[in-house]
Amino acid sequence: MKLADNKATMSFSNGAPSVEMPIYQGSVGPDVIDIRKLYAQTGMFTYDPGFLSTASCQSAITYIDGDKGELLYRGYPIEQLAVNCDFMETCHLLLYGNLPNASAKADFTKRVSNHTMVNEQMQFFLRGFRRDAHPMAIMTGLVGALSAFYHDSTDITNPEHREISAIRLIAKLPTLVAMAYKYSAGQPYMYPKNNLSYAGNFMHMMFATPCEDYVVNPVIERAIDRIFILHADHEQNASTSTVRLCGSSGTNPFAAIAAGVACLWGPAHGGANEACLNMLEDIQKMGGISKVGEFMNQVKDKNSGVKLMGFGHRVYKNYDPRAKLMQETCKEVLAALGLENDPLFKLAMALEKIALEDDYFVQRKLYPNVDFYSGIVQRAIGIPVGLFTAVFALARTVGWIAQLNEMIGDPEYKIGRPRQLFTGSVRREVLPIAQR
């Protein structure tokens, strides 16, 4: 961390001595005030529910400029990565900090391919779930259960264990998501085919059956790969912060990633892709584009509890760059599948247009986020709505691991332990039950 020339001074109106705090500069983005000694010096905590003004760590992985609508992985703009690289290159970049050359890419891809199968016992574990269980409920269980199968890579303090667990998680998540799908569909599991690309293999495990081969359409393969790239990391969002906090206790990487999966499930986070598609289908059932105005009135009515899902973001106060790329992919996939007139896509475009011109959205700087279009792409490909967030989890796994490993390697790493402003009862005595 680079110390800035200036310092921050906190003064108090009650005459208590003022406190000087160092300021650190990042390579880009806002400076931070180091408040670590504040409690020792003043006996006071800072108060920031939802972390609106708090940097919880230093990180060199992903940078977002929310006002510009810019997203960089290790300095590279998402627009360039989405067009020039594939998911394996992106994983290498996030994990190791550099884009691989051809031989490093081949080596990394081979290492991942070597781990795509899961322990055969996982099938029996999966069988314990109801067939209609939500895929994210299954994924939370399956990912956590990996720690029961791969004991030789559970020591988070051991760099070799961290490396092998990283490769295992990246390799096995597609297998687990496809198994969760096959289980709900009542179809036999398909083993991975390591001669296929990462995205192609996922499509194979999802849609092939032992009765017939599945030939992956290259447009769809590319679209899935792009979904993976766009969701791979997003700095200190809720699920990533969950993984860091969980991992900070020294728990094993599989358990920490399972915590991330659980957090991602919520509709304000990764569950938004499913919620967005359900919302579009509901509006379509109400009458489609002709009902958009009515729906928007509900969204703007604070008492309705209705939100425009896939819109708004804590950090982006401009167009989410991933949404633009996803919209492009949406058009490509629908054209390749002869679905140019897909009513949900038309509805999404109409909603976006109205929202971007409406004062409510303009004043609050609400723009489409990545989930606004990703559901339409996945649905067109044949991925069931309930599985959307599991696909997101699959893609985000590399980001979670990169962030977890970065934290463990940080000399300033400490167990995460936020404090509180206590507003409950002061000390009181327990009365015998007859006197209460």
Of residues 312 and 321, the one with the C-beta less far from ligand ACO: 312
Is residue 405 within 8 A of residue 166, CB to CB? The reply is: yes
Of residues 22 and 266, the one with the C-beta less far from ligand ACO: 266
Residues 6+ apart with CB under 8 A from 9: 18, 19, 20, 21
Of residues 232 and 366, the one with the C-beta less far from ligand ACO: 366
Which listed residue (115, 161, 234, 313) is catalytic?
A: 313
Would you call 115 a catalytic residue per the annotation?
Answer: no
- Contacts to ligand ACO by CB under 6 A: 268-270, 272, 299, 307-314, 364, 366, 369-371
Q: How far is the CB of 307 from ligand ACO (least distance, A)?
A: 4
Would you call 231 a catalytic residue per the annotation?
Answer: no
Residue 26 C-alpha from the chain's centroid: 23
Q: How far is the CB of 298 from ligand ACO (least distance, A)?
A: 10
Of residues 122 and 395, the one with the C-beta less far from ligand ACO: 395
Q: How far is the CB of 376 from ligand ACO (least distance, A)?
A: 14
Cα gap 142→125, rounded to integer Å: 8
Cα gap 88→194, rounded to integer Å: 13
DSSP per-residue letters across 170-197: HHHHHHHHHHHHHHHHTPPP----TTS-
Residues 6+ apart with CB under 8 A from 331: none
Residue in the shown chain whose Cβ atom is closest to ligand ACO: 312
Closest CA to 170 of 269, 236, 89, 63: 89
Q: How far is the CB of 136 from ligand ACO (least distance, A)?
A: 14
Neighbours of 83 (CB within 10 A): 12
Cα gap 112→257, rounded to integer Å: 17
Is residue 179 within 8 A of residue 187, CB to CB? The reply is: no
Q: How far is the CB of 370 from ligand ACO (least distance, A)?
A: 5
Of residues 370 and 391, the one with the C-beta less far from ligand ACO: 370
Give the largest CA-CA distance in the chain.
80
Residues assigned a catalytic role: 313, 371
